[in-house]
A and B are shown apart, each in its own frame.
Chain A
Amino acid sequence: MTKVADFSILETLDYDDDGFMTDASAWTPEIGEAIATVLEIGLTERHWAVIDFARKEFVENGEAPTLRKISKVGGVPMKELYDLFPGGPAKIAAKIAGLPKPTGCI
């Protein structure tokens, strides 16, 4: 029960079928923290570098950045991205950052 209570911040939000937040503007760092906990990822400074970059890109371009962009422009090496967000960094980073599911091919 206590475990459920920890995630109460996620209750009032809307998600798409794959669990991505539908309203990126409703996101807060606390929500990001809670989503990461659901995904069993403990956020470090390096995770936040990726999340902040993704949020910034989203505001500027209207979509979640591709992994290549996070790596090339955001300055986080590809290998590290896979270590930080195991099991599909593009999707998981976007999900934690409250962004729509990324659709880029690269």
Chain B
Amino acid sequence: MTTAEMTNVLEKIKGNASNGKKAAQKLAIVASKGSLDMVYPVLILANGARMSGIDVDIFCTFWGVDLITKKKMGKINIATVGNPAFSMAPYAGWFKIPTWMGMIPGMSKIATWMMEREIAKLDFPPIPEFVQMIIDAGAKVYGCQMTMDMMGLTVDDLVDGAEVLGVMEMLELTKDSNLIFI
């Protein structure tokens, strides 16, 4: 093998998963919802990005702040009203749950319990553990200043490692990032 061919092999091995010395890719996620089906995509995207060596900033605003609020993060439910796709999948996927049925007291708890069970089967962690996992993985989480003021929260109410930011600081921080709004 010539030196040039050898260099090619080495370059190939280095590939995309280099040791972080290449220009860093960055992802920013604005998490604006506080329901189970809107929170998991945030966590899965953030975790996937970190696993691929991409830097992640998560800005939690409005109900999204629940995701990083210590007292709320373990109590995130699925909404059973106003979702036309809501069905009994995977048990009886043909059965679409009508809005009036979603209003029955306890429906949200039951639906959340069922979905959490299915998520656990896939070996995805529950939300509080998942949040800790992405923080350990190096994702940064922020609470929106205005939301925090509105809801009477302080940084002490947020998970350890979270910071509070205003929109201008957030834009400054993410000017080189791809931005996703969830």
Interface, chain A (partner B; CB < 8 A):
1, 4, 7-8, 10-11, 15, 17-20, 35, 38-41, 66-69, 77-79, 82, 86-92, 95, 105-106
Contact = CB atoms under 8 A, between A and B. Distances in A.
Contact of A35 (B13, B53, B124): B13
Nearest to A66: B123
Interface of B: 1, 3, 6-7, 9-10, 12-21, 44, 47-48, 50-53, 122-125, 133, 136-138
B9 A15 contact: yes
B16 A18 contact: yes
Given A92-B19, A106-B123, A7 B51 contact: no
A18 B17 contact: yes
B12 to A, nearest CB: 4
A79 B12 contact: no
Contacts of B7: 4
Nearest to A81: B137
Contacts of B125: 68
A67 B53 CA distance: 13
A41 B14 CA distance: 11
Nearest to A12: B1
A10 B133 CA distance: 35
